[in-house]
C-alpha cells in the first residue's frame, strides 16, 4: 500500500467517520483511481471506523509540515 498527496485528495470529501467498506464505496462512486481503491482494500478490516485520512495514512502531512513564514517574503 502506498499513498501520495494526489491519491489522498480523492478522500478529502469522504463521509468521515467511515468504515473501510464505506470508504471503498465512496471511492468507487466518486471515480477515484484504482490505486486508491486498492490501497483501501489492503487495510486490515477489523470493523474499525476511521475519522480521517490520518488514521489510514499515518504519514499524512499536516499543515505544520508545510510551514511557511509569510512575514519573510
pLDDT class for 70, splitting at 50, 70, 90?
low
Give yes or no for residue 22 having a pLDDT over 90: yes
Beta strands in 1-73 (DSSP E): 18-19, 49-50
Average pLDDT, stretch 17-43?
96
Considering the chain, what percentage of its residues have pLDDT values greater than 90?
Answer: 66
Residue 66 CB coordination number (10 Å): 7
Average pLDDT, stretch 30-35?
97
> Crossing angle for the helix pair 34-41 and 20-30, nearest 10 degrees?
170
Taking the C-alpha atoms of residue 71 and residue 4, their distance in angstroms, rounded to an integer, is 30
Cell readout for 72 is: 519573510
Domain coordinates in residue numbering, the chain = 5-58
User: Which residues, 6 or more positions from 57, have their beta carbon under 8 angstroms from its beta carbon?
Assistant: 3, 8
Amino acid at each position: 500500500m502506498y499513498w501520495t498527496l494526489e491519491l489522498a485528495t480523492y478522500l478529502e470529501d469522504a463521509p468521515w467517520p467511515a468504515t473501510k467498506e464505506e470508504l471503498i464505496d465512496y471511492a468507487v462512486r466518486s471515480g477515484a483511481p484504482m490505486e486508491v481503491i486498492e490501497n483501501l482494500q489492503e487495510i486490515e478490516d477489523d470493523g474499525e471506523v476511521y475519522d480521517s485520512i490520518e488514521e489510514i495514512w499515518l504519514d499524512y502531512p499536516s499543515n505544520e509540515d508545510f510551514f511557511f513564514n509569510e512575514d519573510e517574503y
